[in-house]
Amino acid sequence: MSEIINGELQKTCLYEEHVALGAKMSPFAGYMMPIQYSGIVAEHNAVRQKVGMFDVSHMGEIFVKGPEAEAFINHIFTNEIRGFGPGKVLYGMMCYPDGGTVDDLLVYREYLADHFLLVVNAANIEKDFAWIQEQAKSFDVRLDNASDRIGQIAVQGPEAEKTIIEVLGYKEAADLGFYTFCDVEYKGERLILSRTGYTGEDGFELYTTQEGTVELWKRLIEAGVQPCGLGCRDTLRFEAGLPLYGDELSPEISPVVAGLGMFCKYEKDFIGKEALLDQKAGKLQRKLVGIEIEDKAIPRAGYPVEAADEKEVGVVTTGYHSITLDKSICFALVDKEFAALDTPLSIRIRKKVFPGKVVKKRFYQTNYKK
Amino acid sequence: MSKILEGLKYSESHEWVKVEGNVAYIGVSDFAQKEMGDITYVDMPEEGDDVLAGEEFGALESVKASSELISPVSGVVVAVNYELADAPEKVNEDAYAAWIIKVEMSLPSELDKLMDAAAYKAQIGE
């Protein structure tokens, strides 16, 4: 709350729209953001069953251009961007030399040669940009932090494609595959239409000017799209097994600990590679797992995880009573010897201990466009 | 605007108490259920458990948050509203019908420290 008193909280370009819709607003990552409009459960179900939209204008956009842009990004990014063509989007992380995570991000390879867009977490924009600038010193690249100029809306759910075609009047949206994007003109400006998301459903993320974003939001409301707050953004991403920086990734939680090794490519060099290889080879102490308990009680972040003898072996990072699955499930960081599937683990919730077991982190069967 | 029932006692942590002889029914106020949003779980003690005024006896959980239940009185739990185990949404539907526990009071004078409807209305500032 001190952030409000200090007047440092930022507003996205859609702030007035949220207030007009009666959203419950709350500080998140330095921004005043909508947590819910009609209710988390109704918004969550709208995305799973029909279509919902999120203001994600707080996310950061950093353009990287120049003759050494590809080599530079490959140096700071865990995934392999060589051989991945224009119009493609790639997920991965930036790591510190000790393997800790600077951030998880999307890399867009633009249609213009040597042009890339990095999309980073709102809470990390300044930290990431400083990190990227520092690493870029010996590369011939130009960096542009465009976060304050670009708005972003995520349109997610089984009816997202139909909605986008209707609102943008762009029927080619149907041909966009998962993790690809194209440029569309909207109100005379560039709009990046990206088939990506953070919900486990099919959907799109649309980046354009702030004015365009406000216009687009209004058109989507008119089209009957349910506005959704950050409350259900978290329940949706969690069910789909997707990490949130700060909970499942951090300077202390590497991609290997978080089980995201598939996004780290060791055939190339990148910052943190040696440390991650050491962790893979066994120097790892903890693993991120999914745990399901046999009760409706809710495992929350920070609750202790216990082995059979009541020994504390880990801690919950995110947990809910899953809206879609009607199960109490969580992500937890546990000592590596307790990370195997079906290992019995209990969660201490207030004064009681609830038995459960290790399950796959992707709790929900995702429905991505192939 | 939250509903406040006359004739009940209220605690600062938004529990209500309905007194019948030496027995107190305890629930949460309409204001509290609105603040919580959709309630998905009610963590309750068992019959025979002791509760102490000012101490936690359970919790309400919504999708996003968990909120401790603080007993306004001391005594022994003589009944638990097990209906809420399967239907926690009843707290949202009618917070004053959805009592959570029934306590045989050991120190009924503790009731004097609680607020009446007018004082509670002033506290929540609606």
CATH of domain A3-59+148-239: 3.30.1360.120
**Confidence grade of residue A3 (pLDDT, cut at 50, 70, 90):** very low
Within 13 A of A346's CA, how many CA atoms are on the CB side?
15
- The string of DSSP letters for A77-101 reads BSS--TT--TTBEEEEEEE-TTS-E
Residues of B in contact with A247 (CB under 8 A): none
Chain B contact present for A321, CB below 8 A? yes
Q: How confident is the model over B54-78, as pLDDT tens digits?
A: 999 999 999 888 899 999 999 999 9
Q: At what angle do helices A210-222 and A160-168 cross, to 10 degrees?
A: 110
The DSSP 8-state label assigned to residue A268 in this structure reads S
pLDDT value of residue A348: 96
Q: How confident is the model over A25-74, as pLDDT tens digits?
A: 999 999 999 999 988 999 999 999 999 999 999 999 999 999 999 999 99
Residues A52, A159 contacting (CB under 8 angstroms): no
Q: For an interface test with A, which of B33, B34, B40 has the most A Cβ atoms less than 10 Å from its Cβ?
A: B40
Report the gap between the CA of A125 and the closest CA in chain B (Å): 26
Q: A227, A105, A245: which is closest to A156 by C-alpha?
A: A227
Bridge pairing between strands A304-306 and A24-28? unpaired
Residues A248, A318 contacting (CB under 8 angstroms): yes
Residues of B in contact with A348 (CB under 8 A): none
Q: Rounded CA gap, A244 and A3, in Å? A: 22
Q: Rounded CA gap, A25 and A40, in Å? A: 13
pLDDT value of residue A1: 30
pLDDT > 90? residue B17: yes
Residue located via tokens 């949130």: A244
Averaged pLDDT for residues A302-309: 94
Chain B contact present for A320, CB below 8 A? yes
**Cβ burial A218-230 (10 Å sphere, 16+ → b, else e):** eebeebebbbbbb
Q: Rounded CA gap, B43 and A60, in Å? A: 40
Q: Rounded CA gap, A249 and A276, in Å? A: 14
What does pLDDT average to over chain A?
Answer: 95
Chain B contact present for A344, CB below 8 A? no
Averaged pLDDT for residues B92-103: 97
pLDDT value of residue A129: 98
Chain A contact present for B38, CB below 8 A? yes
pLDDT value of residue A69: 98
Q: How confident is the model over B22-47, as pLDDT tens digits?
A: 999 999 999 999 988 889 899 999 99
Chain A contact present for B54, CB below 8 A? no
Percent of all residues in chain B with a pLDDT value above 90, rounded to a whole number: 90
Residues of B in contact with A299 (CB under 8 A): none
HEC assignment per residue over chain B = CCCCCCCCEECCCCEEEEEECCEEEEEECHHHHHHHCCEEEEECCCCCCEECCCCEEEEEEECCCEEEEECCCCEEEEEECCHHHHCCCHHHHCCCCCCCEEEEECCHHHHHHCECHHHHHHHHCC
What does pLDDT average to over chain B?
Answer: 95
Chain B contact present for A35, CB below 8 A? yes
Residues of A in contact with B41 (CB under 8 A): 296-298, 321
pLDDT value of residue A205: 98
Choose the closest CB to B66 out of A36, A44, A300: A300
What is the value of ipTM here, to two decimals? 0.74
Residues A183, A117 contacting (CB under 8 angstroms): no
Chain B contact present for A298, CB below 8 A? yes
Averaged pLDDT for residues A15-31: 95
Q: A334, A176, A313: which is closest to A248 by C-alpha?
A: A334
Averaged pLDDT for residues A341-346: 97
Residues B58, B82 contacting (CB under 8 angstroms): no
- The string of DSSP letters for A143-158 reads EEE-TTTEEEEEEEST
**Confidence grade of residue A7 (pLDDT, cut at 50, 70, 90):** low
Residues of A in contact with B62 (CB under 8 A): 40
Cβ distance A231 to B64 less than 8 Å, yes or no, reads yes
Chains A, B: CB pairs < 8 Å: 38
**Superfamily in which the A60-131 domain is placed by CATH:** Aminomethyltransferase beta-barrel domains (3.30.70.1400)
- Domain positions in chain A: 3-59+148-239, 60-131, 285-359
Dihedral pair phi/psi, residue B120, rounded to 5°: -65, -40
Compute CA distances A191 → A116, A225, A229, whole Å.
15, 19, 23
Residue type, A148: D
CA gyration radius for chain A? 21
Cβ distance B43 to A235 less than 8 Å, yes or no, reads no
Measured at the alpha carbon of residue B59, what is the angle toward residues A338 and A3, in degrees to the nearest 5? 85
Residues B63, A236 contacting (CB under 8 angstroms): no
Residues of B in contact with A352 (CB under 8 A): 43
Residues B109, B46 contacting (CB under 8 angstroms): no
pLDDT > 60? residue A2: no
Measured at the alpha carbon of residue A117, what is the angle toward residues A112 and A123, in degrees to the nearest 5? 170
pLDDT > 50? residue A255: yes
Residue A53: both structure tokens together: 């939209």
**Confidence grade of residue A296 (pLDDT, cut at 50, 70, 90):** confident
Among A4-8, A160-164, A302-306, whose mean pLDDT is lowest? A4-8
Compute CA distances A294 → A80, A137, A332, A344, A357, whole Å.
41, 53, 16, 11, 9
Q: Rounded CA gap, B42 and B86, in Å? A: 9
pLDDT value of residue A159: 98
Q: For an interface test with B, which of A350, A353, A354 has the most B Cβ atoms less than 10 Å from its Cβ?
A: A350
Compute CA distances A356 → A237, A313, B37, B117, whole Å.
22, 14, 27, 43
pLDDT value of residue A4: 43
Bridge pairing between strands A52-55 and A226-228? parallel
Q: Which long-range contacts (CB under 8 A, 24 or more apart) does A164-167 make?
A: A164/A193, A164/A204, A164/A206, A166/A223, A167/A216, A167/A219, A167/A220, A167/A223
Residues of A in contact with B49 (CB under 8 A): none
What is the pTM assigned to this prediction?
Answer: 0.91
Nearest CA in chain A to B85: A296
Report the gap between the CA of A351 and the closest CA in chain B (Å): 9
Fold (CATH) for A285-359? Elongation Factor Tu (Ef-tu); domain 3 (2.40.30)
